[in-house]
Structure 1
Amino acid sequence: MAGPSLVEVAAAVLIRPDDSFLLACRPDGKPYAGYWEFPGGKIETGESPLQALARELDEELGITVRQATPWLTRTFSYPHATVRLRFYRVTDWHGELTPRERQQFAWQTAENITVSPLLPANTPILRSLALPSIYAVTRTVETDIEASLLSIGQTLGNGVKLLQIRQKAMSHDQLEHFSRTALQLARSYQATVLINENIPLAQTLQADGVHLTAAQLRSLHSRPAVNWCGASCHNEQELQRAERLGVDFVTLSPVQPTLSHPGAAALGWKEFAALIRDYPLPVYALGGLLPADLETAREYGAHGIAMMRSI
């Protein structure tokens, strides 16, 4: 017997400047009536996902899309069909939201979801929306540790909410002291801190998570027992391994030439986009990037950018 057919769907994550996003309630007469979801609908024959997205938002909400960038692609199996949802971040539109299907809608934040029940296929997206657009990575301390901690404090004070402690040259005792102090700093700014590679240290210090190296991706058979888990990827095989391991997000590098790896071949934006096309996890572009590159990264499908020297 043939399995459920694959239905291609375009879904919109409408995001306001305060990072709140729109959820809509499925109206009576539709499957899963009363469930909340990201607006969108089936991609018709001959349509691109972006064309379908624009049509659905006009039909459902009466708005015209001005700015939409590809984000995540996730597949979910319902009893009646398997759906492949292509999520777009929609950050600019024209017109007032109008419930053309007499549906309810509500602006929500990842930290405070007030509506329920959620359509099952949309639930994993909420965790991804909690990730900020900038991922700061500490530079290897070459001089004064205290000066480096001061720099971290300044970075957090500038609004960075996601930090990776990456200090390959430190001894265990130095790294523990450095990480403990950085964690205290981060908590005063309500920022999330991941420790590079050292899973036992992340667990001992009760850090927010760990960032896995590519070598760890190849050797681990299960996701570490931490709240947040990121991973470093450089090619398609590592991206697939990270997905199978169940990490929360990845970095993909190097996008541009970097000072830290002067001989490494850069991916460039086109290859970056090709590698993450239809990928289900948030991807941070990494390597030779500046804050001004954020919008370019999103246009090519990135969740955001990770930076070391440019923070």
Structure 2
Amino acid sequence: MSGAGPVHVAVGVVQDGAGRIVIARRDAHRHQGGRWEFPGGKIEPGETPFTALQRELAEELGVTAEAASPLIRIPYDYGDRQVVLDVMRVTAYSGEPEGVEGQPLARVAIDSLDPVAFPAGNRAIITALRLPSTYIISPDCHDPDDWLAQLDRCLAGGTRLIQFRVRGESPGRDRLASEAVKRCHAGGAVMLVNGDATLAEASGADGVHLNARQLRDCNRQSLSGFTWIGASCHNGPELARAADLGADFAVLGPVAPTASHPGAAPLGWAAFADAVAAARLPVYALGGMGRADTETAITHGGQGAAGIRGFWPGLSG
């Protein structure tokens, strides 16, 4: 980075009454001009990210932001400019958004946001908006009927992101994966297959979740056929590698002691927050997590929490 350091920017995700996202088109003469963006601007000395966002939204949209919650923090290097985007979801505001500075506005459903139309540094914001706050990882399967019944319970409870982590020696694994995909799609959920791109493609899954070895050895081209790519990471360099490969999100851990990896030293929340602050993609906390840890993960910069025992019905400990 240059000696001047990155520009720290407050960014707001503002939704109208119909749940659509308010976006603005950048002036042609500005950096990344002509592209769509989420409203916001530079944090001035003495401002917090939220007070800066309040000022920017008043100046740009004519609205008063009353409350906001963290969504994601993104450091991004454009080559000619480095930025850190402190992105907040505006949860309460007054006024009707309008282009106070003459900028064109649009109101777009989350699923219709086109990442290509935005500056590259904004694209992880769109991913974070599309991802839920929990990522449920399945256990191995010993009884297909029972396993599918537990999957149905997850889906009925609102689960929208599942990792199929049934290992290769399990009987009927291919058929189980295909049936799981059908049920996930019927329930409006996305399913990724852990570590097996061939099975992911054959079953019709939405993507693949890379283990640490695959993250190290694979390349962008081998991942181009999938809608969603997740990655398992244990440190900052692995998070950077995941972003370089074009992964959509990562899990980082273990954050807390976990029964599945009793010998692994936990990161703790402080180290998790430090690693996530430098990441360029959404990150779930993994390891010893349960649903009650989701908000803690978010307050430490994460997308939410991921796990098996704390999320899959019928498991505990």
Please say whether Structure 1 and Structure 2 have the same fold, judged by a TM-score greater than 0.5. Answer: yes
1:59-91 CA-to-partner distances (Å, cap 9, x unmatched) read 32332342331513142538xx52414141324
Give the Cα–Cα distance (whole angstroms) in 2 for the partners of residues 294 and 255 of structure 1: 12
Give the Cα–Cα distance (whole angstroms) in 1 for the partners of residues 276 and 31 of structure 2: 31
Give the Cα–Cα distance (whole angstroms) in 2 for the partners of residues 243 and 111 of structure 1: 21
Q: 1:259 to 1:281 in 2, by over 3 A?
A: same
Task: Structure 1 unaligned segments of length 5 or more: list them.
Answer: none
> Which deviates more from structure 2 when the two are superposed, residues 56-65 or residues 255-264?
56-65
Give the Cα–Cα distance (whole angstroms) in 2 for the partners of residues 128 and 260 of structure 1: 28
Q: 1:140 to 1:305 in 2, by over 3 A?
A: same
Give 1:175's aligned residue. Answer: 173
Give the Cα–Cα distance (whole angstroms) in 2 for the partners of residues 49 and 164 of structure 1: 34
Please report the RMSD computed on the Cα atoms of aligned residues, expressed in angstroms: 3.1
Q: How far is the alpha carbon of 1:138 from its aligned partner?
A: 0.3
Give 1:207's aligned residue. Answer: 205
Give the Cα–Cα distance (whole angstroms) in 1 for the partners of residues 135 and 56 of structure 2: 33
Give 2:185's aligned residue. Answer: 187
Q: What pairs with 1:25-64 in structure 2 (closer than 5 Å)?
A: 25-26=25-26, 35-61=35-61, 62-64=63-65
The one-letter code sitting in structure 2 at the alignment partner of 1:266 is P
Q: How far is the alpha carbon of 1:287 from its aligned partner?
A: 1.8
* Preserved contact between residue 64 and residue 93 of structure 2 (Cα < 8 Å): yes
Give 2:314's aligned residue. Answer: none
Give the fraction of aligned pairs with identical amino acids, expressed as a percent.
36
TM-score, L = length of structure 1:
0.84
Give the Cα–Cα distance (whole angstroms) in 2 for the partners of residues 309 and 74 of structure 1: 33
* Preserved contact between residue 23 and residue 106 of structure 1 (Cα < 8 Å): yes
Q: How far is the alpha carbon of 1:50 from its aligned partner?
A: 4.4
Give 1:268's aligned residue. Answer: 268
* Preserved contact between residue 124 and residue 282 of structure 2 (Cα < 8 Å): no
* Preserved contact between residue 285 and residue 305 of structure 2 (Cα < 8 Å): yes
Give 1:122's aligned residue. Answer: 122
Q: 1:18 to 1:144 in 2, by over 3 A?
A: farther
Give the Cα–Cα distance (whole angstroms) in 2 for the partners of residues 173 and 19 of structure 1: 44
Q: How far is the alpha carbon of 1:101 from its aligned partner?
A: 2.9
Q: How far is the alpha carbon of 1:129 from its aligned partner?
A: 2.5
> Which deviates more from structure 2 when the two are superposed, residues 260-269 or residues 132-141?
260-269
Give the Cα–Cα distance (whole angstroms) in 1 for the partners of residues 53 and 88 of structure 2: 11
Give 1:299's aligned residue. Answer: 299
Give the Cα–Cα distance (whole angstroms) in 2 for the partners of residues 32 and 224 of structure 1: 28
Q: 1:260 to 1:191 in 2, by over 3 A?
A: same
* Preserved contact between residue 9 and residue 83 of structure 1 (Cα < 8 Å): no
**Secondary structure of 1:64 counterpart:** strand
Q: How far is the alpha carbon of 1:109 from its aligned partner?
A: 2.2
Give the Cα–Cα distance (whole angstroms) in 1 for the partners of residues 60 and 88 of structure 2: 17
Give the Cα–Cα distance (whole angstroms) in 1 for the partners of residues 16 and 261 of structure 2: 37
The one-letter code sitting in structure 2 at the alignment partner of 1:282 is P
Q: How far is the alpha carbon of 1:48 from its aligned partner?
A: 4.8
Q: 1:155 to 1:30 in 2, by over 3 A?
A: same
Q: What pairs with 1:19-168 in structure 2 (closer than 5 Å)?
A: 20-26=20-26, 35-61=35-61, 62-69=63-70, 71-75=72-76, 77=78, 81-99=80-98, 100-113=100-113, 118-119=118-119, 121-123=121-123, 125-141=125-141, 143-168=142-167
Give the Cα–Cα distance (whole angstroms) in 2 for the partners of residues 189 and 70 of structure 1: 25
Q: 1:296 to 1:96 in 2, by over 3 A?
A: farther
* Preserved contact between residue 134 and residue 306 of structure 2 (Cα < 8 Å): yes
The one-letter code sitting in structure 2 at the alignment partner of 1:249 is F
Q: How far is the alpha carbon of 1:265 from its aligned partner?
A: 1.9
**Secondary structure of 1:309 counterpart:** coil
Q: How far is the alpha carbon of 1:236 from its aligned partner?
A: 1.9
Give the Cα–Cα distance (whole angstroms) in 1 for the partners of residues 107 and 291 of structure 2: 28
> Are positions 1:237 and 2:229 aligned together?
no
Give 2:315's aligned residue. Answer: none
Q: How far is the alpha carbon of 1:29 from its aligned partner?
A: 8.3
Q: How far is the alpha carbon of 1:297 from its aligned partner?
A: 1.3
**Secondary structure of 2:263 counterpart:** coil
1:213-257 CA-to-partner distances (Å, cap 9, x unmatched) read 112112224452322110001112321221222211100111222
Task: Structure 2 unaligned segments of length 5 or more: list them.
Answer: 312-317
Q: How far is the alpha carbon of 1:174 from its aligned partner?
A: 2.3
* Preserved contact between residue 15 and residue 89 of structure 1 (Cα < 8 Å): no
